[in-house]
């Protein structure tokens, strides 16, 4: 018999997967969106009030000591609640390709993100500073529980490129302490195709350490639409992990839901 938690996670998984096709259709409704795919860290910016930004990877392979896993889809929904605040809902489906295991919903969470100090990412001077905090939701399979995390993000944009620093502390779904530090480097934001890179260090105390490096490209088609392609190599607990990431980021207003909209 399914538990209430398994039923909830099953519904979330179906929502994420069925939403993939809808998202492609919505890509034409866009507003300004900056891609923070394909990174594990993020930037010190939020969606504008009433705007939705979606980061989507339809499918991508990850190979580790346990075999090859298909990540499909990986999705992040961002919604601008008010000036400087957004709500974030994320998760990804994982299907083992090296065995006959079931597809599961993993890495799910619900967060609030707030720009504490507006800066260069908000067309002002100096660094942008933000915080993100929320709950880590249980995986749809296994016996993981609920966790929590809080992060600080500092971003600075110059003519030659952009840098983002992330520092996060968490209580994991398995109730271990965890710290995460990330640095993201991007080429000039005015370039149509810009090179990107990220290095991060994570330590889940009493479990394992992860050191990860990523290199890739972001193609800014227009202000409201970008595509990304990246390769990630990591050592997780001393074992290699290789992952190919490819996806898109787009945004759109919810004004078409407003009853006052004209026809």
* pLDDT surpassing 50 at residue 187: yes
pLDDT at 84: 97
Instruction: List the chain domain ranges.
Output: 4-257
Q: How far apart, in whole angstroms, are the C-alpha atoms of residue 164 and residue 162?
A: 7
Query: Measured in whole angstroms, how far is the alpha carbon of residue 145 from the centre of its chain?
Result: 21
Residue 137 has, within 13 A of its CA and on its CB side, a CA count of: 22
In which band, very low, low, confident or very high, does the pLDDT at 255 lie, cut at 50, 70 and 90?
Answer: low
CA-nearest of 204, 184, 206, 210 to 195 is 184
CA-nearest of 145, 142, 164 to 153 is 164
In which band, very low, low, confident or very high, does the pLDDT at 237 lie, cut at 50, 70 and 90?
Answer: very high
* pLDDT surpassing 50 at residue 218: yes
For 39-68, how does the pLDDT look when each residue is reduced to its tens digit (9 = 90+)?
999 999 999 999 999 999 999 999 999 999
Task: Name 249's Cβ contacts closer than 8 Å, sequence gap at least 6.
Answer: 33, 34, 35, 36, 37, 53, 54, 55, 56, 225, 226, 228
Cβ distance 31 to 253 under 8 Å? yes
Q: Which helix (H) or strand (E) holds 5?
A: helix 4-26
Residue 148 has, within 13 A of its CA and on its CB side, a CA count of: 3
Query: How many residues does this entry show for the chain?
Result: 263
Average pLDDT of the residues in 176-186: 98
For 78-131, how does the pLDDT look when each residue is reduced to its tens digit (9 = 90+)?
999 999 999 999 999 999 998 878 899 999 999 999 999 999 999 999 999 999
CATH of region 4-257 = 2.40.160.40
Q: How far apart, in whole angstroms, are the C-alpha atoms of residue 81 and residue 160?
A: 32
* pLDDT surpassing 80 at residue 258: no
pLDDT at 152: 98
Task: Name 239's Cβ contacts closer than 8 Å, sequence gap at least 6.
Answer: 64, 65
């Amino acid at each position: 018999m399914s538990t209430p938690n398994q039923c909830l996670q099953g519904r979330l998984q179906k929502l994420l997967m069925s939403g993939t096709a809808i998202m492609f259709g919505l890509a034409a409704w866009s507003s300004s969106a900056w891609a923070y795919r394909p990174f594990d860290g993020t930037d010190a910016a939020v969606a504008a009030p009433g705007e939705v930004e979606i980061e989507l990877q339809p499918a991508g392979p990850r190979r580790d000591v346990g075999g090859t896993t298909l990540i499909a889809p990986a999705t992040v929904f961002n919604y601008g609640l008010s000036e400087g605040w957004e709500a974030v809902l994320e998760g990804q489906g994982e299907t083992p390709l090296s065995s006959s295991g079931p597809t599961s919903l993993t890495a799910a969470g619900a967060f609030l993100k707030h720009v504490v100090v507006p800066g260069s990412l908000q067309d002002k001077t100096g660094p942008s500073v933000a915080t993100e905090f929320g709950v880590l939701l249980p995986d749809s399979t296994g016996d993981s529980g609920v966790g929590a995390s809080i992060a600080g993000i500092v971003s600075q944009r110059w003519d030659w490129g952009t840098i983002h620093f992330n520092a996060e502390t968490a209580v994991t779904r398995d109730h271990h302490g965890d710290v995460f530090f990330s640095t993201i480097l991007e080429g000039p934001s005015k370039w149509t195709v810009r090179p990107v890179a990220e290095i991060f260090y994570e330590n889940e105390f009493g479990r394992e350490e992860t050191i990860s490096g990523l290199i890739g490209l972001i193609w800014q088609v227009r202000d409201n639409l970008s595509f990304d392609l990246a390769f990630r190599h990591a050592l997780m607990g001393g074992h290699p992990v290789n992952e190919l990431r490819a996806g898109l980021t787009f945004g759109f207003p919810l004004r078409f839901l407003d009853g006052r909209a004209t026809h």
